[in-house]
Amino acid sequence: MANQREIHRHIKSVKNIQQITKAMKMVAAARLRRAQEKAASSRPFADKVKELLLTAVSDPKMMSRLNIDEHPLLCERPVKKIAYIVVTSDKGLAGAYNANLLKHAVVELMDKDSYTLITVGRKAKEFFKRRGFSIHESFFGFSDKPTYNDADDVARAAEELFVSGAVDEVLLIYTQFKSALSFTPVIKRLLPVKPPVAEPVANLYAYEGENADESVSEVIFEPKAEETLKYLVPYYVRTVTYAAIMQAAASELGARMTAMSSATDNANDLLNKLEVSYNKARQAGITNEINEIVGGAEALQ
């Protein structure tokens, strides 16, 4: 059995760790709230871009005479090579968040003979690099606080691959945020752009239980819809990318908050056990001292 000094040192160490995990939980909770507010503030722009895009492609005559060379992001072709954008976190201490996402990505890659990898987040880069995967481009340093400029960089890299013909399809693999305790790895097609013509406007940032009811309003394009598409489609690609990165950021912060909450509770349970052990060791020490005193007194008689 450990002595009192060792148990006391252990208690002090656990208390220090508990203070750190409690602080990390509070920071993750504050950042999660800000990430949700940031996503909510971006919804009007994202919804309007999608609404305009749906309106622009709703005219069958316009789409039939559309010059696909001038709109390469809309070009559908046989899929021979796929580019995957895998979105993870830069840091650990987020429970099984990264492990679940990377496991999902590996299962997706197992059946593919030809693909290109773009990683977002240090964990994805390190994971695939250790296993000998070839990475086309890596982005990191913003996983828990992404900006629209970060999404622009990722989308631009994907567009260059697609327009050059190096890949025929671009897929996003990220974690969809539902709540602080619920997030699921999903795969979403980014390129080529194929907006649903007959469907109502969907909320790009909507969480579970949220639906958009708005109907596509009638819009007169000036210049013509064909010219407007040149600007709308790239904006649409960037808003989808930004939405995915924001969903991943919220999932990461939610996972970290949950993991740090569990670590704090476990530290508290361990402290209770250590205090019981410390009291037992203290009582045993007092009993031994009493026995020595009594034994010494009897020896003097």
What pLDDT score does 64 carry? 67
116-130 pLDDT, tens digit per residue, is 999 999 999 999 999
215-246 pLDDT, tens digit per residue, is 444 556 566 766 777 778 888 899 899 989 99
| Alpha-carbon gap, residue 155 to 53, rounded angstroms | 18
CATH class of 72-257: alpha beta
Spatial CB neighbours of 218, under 8 Å, sequence gap ≥ 6 = 55
Q: Is the dihedral of CA 202, 145, 108, 161 positive or negative?
A: positive
Q: How wide is the angle at C-alpha 155 spanned by C-alphas 237 and 210, nearest 5°?
A: 45
| Alpha-carbon gap, residue 177 to 181, rounded angstroms | 9
Rounded CA Rg of the chain: 28
Question: Which residues of the chain fall below pLDDT 50?
Answer: 197-210, 212-217
What pLDDT score does 61 carry? 64
Q: Tokens 């539902």 identify what position?
A: 178
Q: What is the pTM of this model?
A: 0.80
Contact predicate 191/171, CB 8 Å: no
